[in-house]
């Protein structure tokens, strides 16, 4: 895996990363840090990556188990150290999983497997941060077409 970052010039702190998979990601800083607030902060992208990694695992586990998952939202809240380096010290993953007849224990097990076995981002971040999670299951509303059949 690789990526290349280029600073976008002397008037700010905007960086553009080109990833090995051929995608582009921009990052910027707050105005008080010399940025222009044009893109997410680098640490926000780390947090987003952890959320994406965990959500990917949960969806994949539930789909492989042939469960009727129709949505997955993860809200992450994080605390950082007060001194440099300002590492994450606590990250909470709040999962909202939507589907039809999703067993609570099955969804919780999928989240637990992501956190303890599969998510490499969490494995790295838990070296400095306490990782916690919660799970809410939302029943999918049947579509109107299915009700008239």
- Tell me the pLDDT tens digit for each residue of 40-98: 999 999 999 999 999 999 999 999 999 999 999 999 999 999 999 999 999 999 999 99
Whole-angstrom distance, CA of residue 140 vs CA of residue 121: 29
Residues with Cβ within 8 Å of 2's Cβ and at least 6 positions away in sequence, in order, are 19, 20
Question: The pTM is what?
Answer: 0.90
pLDDT, residue 66, reads 97
For residue range 118-135, list pLDDT tens digits in order.
999 999 999 999 999 999
The strands making up 15-19's β-sheet, listed across from edge to edge, are 3-7, 15-19, 24-27
Residue 12 has pLDDT above 80, yes or no: yes
Q: What domains appear along the chain, each with residue ranges and CATH number?
A: 3-33 (no CATH), 42-147 (3.30.300.20)
CA 121-126-128 angle, to 5 degrees, is 120
């Amino acid at each position: 895996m690789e990526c290349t970052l280029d600073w976008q010039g002397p008037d700010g702190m905007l960086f553009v990363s080109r990833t090995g998979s051929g995608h582009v990601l921009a990052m910027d800083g707050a105005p008080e840090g010399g940025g222009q607030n044009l893109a997410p902060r680098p640490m926000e992208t780390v947090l987003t990556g952890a959320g994406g990694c965990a959500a990917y695992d949960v969806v994949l586990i539930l789909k492989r188990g042939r469960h009727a998952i129709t949505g997955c939202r993860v809200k992450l809240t994080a605390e950082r150290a007060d001194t440099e380096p300002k590492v994450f010290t606590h990250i909470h993953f709040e999962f909202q999983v939507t589907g039809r007849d999703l067993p609570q224990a099955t969804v919780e097990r999928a989240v637990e497997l992501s956190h303890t076995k599969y998510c490499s981002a969490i494995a790295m971040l838990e070296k400095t941060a306490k990782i916690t999670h919660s799970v809410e299951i939302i029943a999918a509303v049947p579509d109107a077409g299915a009700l008239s059949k």
